[in-house]
A and B are shown apart, each in its own frame.
Chain A
Amino acid sequence: MGSFETEFDVIVVGGGHAGIEAVLAAARMGARGLLLTHNLDHIGQMSCNPAIGGIGKGHLVKEIDALGGEMGRAIDATGIQFRRLNTKKGPAVQASRAQADKASYRTYMKQRLESAVGVTLLQASVAQLLVDAGRVRGVATDMGESIHAAAVILTTGTFLNGLMHVGERSQAGGRAGDAPALGISEQLAELGFRVGRLKTGTCPRIDARTIDYAGLEVQHGDDPPQPFSTTTAAIEQPQIPCHITFTNARTHELIRASLGRSAMYSGRIESTGPRYCPSIEDKIVRFADKERHQIFLEPEGRDTVEVYPNGLSTSLPLEVQVDMVRSIAGLENARIMRPGYAIEYDYVDPTQLHPSLETKPVAGLFHAGQINGTTGYEEAGAQGLIAGANAVLAARGEAPLVLGRDQAYVGVLVDDLVTKGVGGEPYRMFTSRAEYRLLLREDNAILRLGDTARRAGLIDDRRYAAQSAFAAAVAAEIDRLEATLLRPTPACNAALRARGWAEILQPTSLAQLLRRPEISYGDLAAGDPEHAPANPVAAPVAREVETTIKYAGYVKRQEDAVARFRRMDETRIPASIAYAEIVGLSREVCEKLERVRPESLGQAGRIPGVTPAAVSLLSVHLQRGRLTAGRKSA
């Protein structure tokens, strides 16, 4: 063999959004990581729509950023339009989204990997995992080379036995233009993994020069644009607008007439695909009386004419796609540059994972991203980061990085996956999946996760210092508002009245005043120097202060619930537990527990079908085990 190294701490298989975060996290923690991908030019490719973030997803990106990840900085550097969503609602559900320049995003990520200390890139396909005595030892490439590492992270995306469908045609592939990854699924099945199949799809791409934008609704970005990463000072690049058009009766007729030729409706693909990302065929069949469907025309970048008509995911034959597109206002003369298609691929049941994302059947093997049945760049990146960090921690023999459901959307995501698995459709984040949603805001991600990130070695001293300063500034300003009292003097009440606010009857703190729905943080200071802080606070600090004070009552209610939930989650279940020996557990419950093998009492209780009585039994059984152990050691 030549001079290529064959020993690493961590091998990451796959150069998508999960793989990137995985290898970077490992490298940040001081490990030597190798990222293998079948095509180095496709690192960080966005296979579907050209956007990062969204409701629930923006939260994930902010958390990735707080944990030292790259996604937020990448989109800040390469985004072409930035928007805050849900701004008319409360702070917990406000979220960031940006349109990406796909090519720049890829370039950014590739350069980041190339320049990262501890990251090695290699273009190769993995033929086989090297497994010995229930532990992964490395991988064998299709060039016949064996590369060794204590941890291997599979981030295979849609590539495992990928099969693409356009109309009546099917073709093996992991993505349009890329070959599938073959053989690994079969090996995983032999190793005891439950391998299943999922389906998703994407839209055709259209030539911008053939779109008539006149008369279409325009959607501009925010001014000024807000960055995702707390390390980005400002977004400097100019923004590009998106446009909105709609399908119509003729579009629907065309689709209806050709349903039999759609890969999905002709029975060639059995599953119906994700309900939150339905094909246009699906929408027209399931919501037959809806007269029109919204289509977002999203540019794929600054230096390309390709446009992504979001909402037109389809597996109809190409000629029907052409007619369908041309039936839509503004697209009458549109030319399709790439057809839309559906894709089927293998995933592995994520309930076979520990909450560290290490697999239970093979020690040292981690899974992240679509292989776990999820969808979305953000979901993938979050898992990649957790898997990368835990691969390093496991090799060091340290406790894994596991985030609570009350701590992060990343925690909700991982817990849902390893506890409930995915049911028939790819898993996507929604804010409604988080029980403690009011606590998990984009704005407080660094407050929630900064210490954890620091402990794991995911952020450096400089970032940690900035985060600590932010936390201190928020706390100080809250203290000031709580401590500054207004007295119900005639002058004071006259001033309040003048601003259209109700008078006060007793000494009232600025914080109490801020709790009134009609008064904002900005209002408090405006025009009243006496009540402004000595040094004006930064906008993010002000926002966090306002949220903390205004949400306090509701947050308290959620925190009470969290305290209960924590007690259950802190009760560990030993790996050696034999459920069959627990008297009184029904067989059905026993099978469910056996399948997931939860690590805490709380996790056990979240498995669908595990009853409260069963959790009580389990808790008694655990306590009994502790007593027995105590007696033996005495």
Chain B
Amino acid sequence: MYVGDTIAAIATAPGRGGIGIVRLSGPRSRELAESVFRPQRAGAWSSHTLRHGWLVEGECTLDEALGVWMRAGASYTGEDVVELQAHGSPAVLRRVVEALLASGARLAEPGEFTERAFLNGRLDLAQAEAVADLIDARGARAAEIAAAQLHGGLSESLGAVRAELIELKALLEVQLDFAEEDVAIDAAEIEARRARAAQTLAGLVDSYAHGKRARDGVRVAIVGRPNVGKSSLLNALLGEERAIVTEIAGTTRDVIDESIEVAGIPMILSDTPGLRAETADQVERIGVERTAAAIQRADGVLLVVDASRPLTGEDEEALRASAAARRLVVANKSDLGVVLAPNELRERTSADVVVVSARSHAGLNELRGALARMLGEEEAGGSAAPVLTRERHRHALQHAGDALALAQRGLRDGAPPEIVAVSVQEALDHVGEVTGAVSNEDVLDEIFRRFCLGK
């Protein structure tokens, strides 16, 4: 258990709410919040004062937001707390949290904010009773999750990293504690073990994106010029009214995420603002940028056109914008007549074309089939390689990898073994957060197994 590091998580209930809050608690809250939140007015935070600004990811603006800092001693947890309030899009909130983790926050365990509040004397006795139950439940759930997660290939991979690191540590330690003994250490073996462990870790960290997809769903962006019926199509696929649909072009200004399951594949459909060739409206221009970002991020694109009219310049824009993506062309509004020839479209886009009517639901089943084919192939093509699915695990293994990079630098620069050992121990501690702690007894066991020691 780490006390006093800075934790972050989405603090509002999962799903789409009117407003979503990302909460940070711990000494680095303000510093880390600044990595994702750009206040409108520069200057220092003052406690309990709302600041207006934008959530950003690098150069990209994600959302408009309000930020508030509550100083230690006067916050819910009793520590420095920053809350970032944005529109409730789960996708945006998740990306904010991921950016915070990348900057050095740790993902809060369920109930951890409350636990900290309790430990800092911010709750009364009755509330405290509830916290104990919560942690109890967490222990049980964590065990359950760990058991479910760490099976098969993943467990094997992590076990291999752990063993590799223990051997690596043993090779360093034997030089320190048994320097007087007749032991031969091969420097090349040390670097080889380090490199193997680092490579496996990197693979596991990379697999997180894939694992996340398996858990959250493949991303599909619905793209097209304004008023081709993107939101209607989304609603038709969802089977209910969700996205706001009007006759006025450009109604959808935010990217809207919805989860559905198509032929057993979980998907996140992102309805995007319509792509216009040019717009003077600043808000819409932001929308256009977001659409481009959504295409970039998506595993597949549904390119929607109006089947009842010839392609417009704006359609051509949408075609160009999605050209690099794996896509499926949806010729909508077939109920108003079909003037676009599917064959021509197919030739022009080198993509499958499905003719549908979002209004009458004609062709929707074909669309579902085509979607499943397009995205299912990838799923089927996915190898059986182990996959990380939990952010907490990714976080731990990422840090383990960072520590091994430091170790590599040390080895390269000829740092003495006790210095390299500090980094290797850090890596072991982080891997231990996932696999269970590695004690210095484990390292001694390895030393004695491998070397004949003792005068």
Contacts and interface: CB of A to CB of B under 8 A. Distances in A.
Real complex partners, A and B?
yes
Interface size class of B (residues with CB under 8 A): 35 or more
Interface of B: 1-5, 115, 118-119, 121, 124-125, 128-129, 131-133, 135-136, 138-139, 142, 173, 175-182, 413, 416-419, 421-422, 425, 439-441, 443-444, 448, 452-455
A587 interface: no
Contacts of A56: 177
Query: Which of A295, A557, A563, A584 has the most B CB atoms < 10 Å from its CB?
Result: A584
Contacts of A6: none
Interface string A273-299: 011111000010011001001111000
A90 B418 CA distance: 7
A614 interface: yes
A563 B178 CA distance: 30
Contacts of A438: 418-419, 422
B139 A619 contact: no
A310 B454 CA distance: 9
Query: Which of B121, B181, B416, B418 has the most A CB atoms < 10 Å from its CB?
Result: B418
Contact of A583 (B1, B132, B181): B132
A517 B419 CA distance: 13
Interface of A: 49, 54-56, 85-86, 88-90, 92-93, 274-278, 283, 286-287, 290, 293-296, 310-311, 420, 423, 430-433, 435, 437-438, 517, 554, 557-558, 563-564, 567-568, 583-584, 605, 608, 611-617, 619-621, 623-624, 627-628, 631
A432 B444 contact: yes
Contacts of B178: 55
B417 A89 contact: yes
B132 A437 contact: no
Given A55-B179, A294-B455, A567 B4 contact: yes
B4 A93 contact: no
A293 B180 contact: no
Contacts, number: 144
Contacts of A290: 452
A-B interface, 9 closest residue pairs, ranked by CB to CB distance from nearest: A584-B136, A613-B139, A287-B452, A275-B448, A310-B455, A90-B416, A432-B173, A294-B182, A277-B454
Contacts of B138: 613, 616
B1 A616 contact: yes
12 contacts: A89-B175, A93-B416, A274-B454, A276-B448, A294-B182, A432-B176, A433-B440, A563-B4, A584-B132, A613-B142, A620-B135, A623-B118
Contact of A612 (B1, B5, B131): B1
Contacts of B453: 275-276, 278
Contacts of A627: 121, 124-125, 128
Contacts of B416: 88-90, 93
B132 A620 contact: yes
Nearest to B137: A584
Contact of B454 (A86, A88, A276, A435): A276
B452 A286 contact: yes
B119 A293 contact: no
B4 to A, nearest CB: 6
A620 B119 contact: yes
A437 B125 contact: no
A249 B23 CA distance: 69
Query: Which of A90, A431, A613 has the most B CB atoms < 10 Å from its CB?
Result: A613
Nearest to B445: A275
B419 A90 contact: yes
Contacts of B175: 89
Given A90-B418, A90-B419, A290-B452, A617 B1 contact: no
A311 B132 contact: no
Nearest to A565: B3
A278 B454 contact: yes
A165 B136 CA distance: 52
Given A49-B455, A613-B135, 20 more contacts: A55-B177, A93-B417, A93-B418, A274-B454, A277-B454, A286-B452, A430-B173, A430-B177, A432-B177, A432-B443, A437-B421, A605-B1, A611-B139, A613-B142, A617-B135, A620-B118, A623-B118, A624-B128, A624-B129, A624-B132
A584 B418 contact: no
Given A89-B418, A568-B3, A619-B119, A431 B132 contact: no
